[in-house]
């Protein structure tokens, strides 16, 4: 747990304090980044950029939220910027991925194991728009309530509900028998 001394050092721009911040939150941020990115390399770049931006902007951290929440917002901004940069490339990539993905979805059957399902889910997530991917990760990985997602993304609760609805619809469309799989697991 980062103590006030470490936070003070971070404010003073000491790189060693950044290492402590990374030790504390790097793993969690990295795991979320894996869902927001299209590849491991991209997730690594996102995490690196998140911490560098945090180091630059630490003086603007007012303590109104937890350090993790603040870091997570930076991560979401980094993810957003990344998508903006490769918008056109991404569009084509997603289209190809849907095609690659079509086959495994059909093969989802009673005998499916977790790894197969995880692979399909990862591909289905990757096909979603970034704004939908973000709400899925925040709702089901970070396990946040609507109000918390709204605060973290800086959007209204109505928008969160709408994005969540569309995101789930998008995933169900790509994995039509996801609910059967969920029932079986339950």
Partner 1 sequence: MTCKKMGRDMEAYLDGTLSAGRKAGFDGHLDHCAVCQTDLLRRQRLGKMLSGSLHKMVEGIEPPAKIVREVLRSAENEAAKSVRPTVLWPKFAAAAILPLLALALFFVFLQKRNAKAPAADFVEPGRASYLKLTTTHFAGPSSREWSVKRAYVKRSNGEAGSLTLELTRTM
Per rule CB under 8 A, is residue 176 in the interface with partner 1?
no
Instruction: Identify which range of 63-71, 75-83, 96-104, 135-143 contacts partner 1 by CB under 8 A.
Output: 135-143
41 vs 88, beta carbon nearer partner 1: 41
Q: Which stretch binds partner 1 (CB under 8 A): 15-23, 79-87, 94-102, 103-111?
A: 15-23
Give the dihedral of Cα atoms 162, 49, 85, 61; nearest 10 deg: 50
Query: What phi-psi label fits residue 28: left (phi over 0), alpha (psi between -120 and 50 degrees) or beta?
Result: alpha
As a three-state string, the secondary structure of 52-119 is HHHHHHHHHCCCCCCHHHHHHHHHHHHHHHHHHHCHHHHHHHHHHHHHHHHHHHHCCCCCCCHHHHHH
Q: Which residues bind partner 1 (CB under 8 A)?
A: 13-15, 18-19, 22-23, 26-27, 30-31, 34-35, 44, 47-48, 51-52, 55-56, 114, 117-118, 121-122, 136-137, 139-141, 143, 145-147, 161, 164, 168, 178-179, 181-183, 185-186
């Amino acid at each position: 747990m980062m103590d006030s001394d470490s936070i003070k050092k971070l404010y003073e721009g000491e790189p060693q304090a950044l290492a402590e911040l990374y030790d504390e939150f790097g793993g969690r941020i990295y795991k979320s980044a894996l869902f927001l990115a299209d590849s491991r390399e991209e997730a690594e770049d996102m995490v690196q950029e998140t911490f560098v931006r945090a180091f630059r902007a630490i003086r603007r951290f007012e303590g109104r939220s937890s350090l993790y929440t603040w870091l997570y917002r930076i991560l979401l901004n980094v993810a957003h910027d990344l998508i903006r940069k490769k918008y056109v490339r991404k569009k084509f990539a997603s289209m190809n991925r849907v095609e690659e993905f079509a086959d495994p979805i059909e093969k989802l059957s009673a005998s499916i194991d977790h790894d197969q399902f995880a692979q399909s889910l990862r591909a289905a997530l990757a096909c979603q728009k970034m704004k939908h991917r973000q709400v899925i990760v925040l709702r089901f990985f970070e396990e946040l309530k609507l109000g918390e997602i709204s605060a973290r993304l800086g959007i209204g609760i109505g928008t969160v509900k709408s994005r969540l609805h569309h995101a789930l619809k998008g995933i169900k469309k790509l994995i039509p028998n996801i609910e059967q799989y969920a029932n079986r697991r339950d």
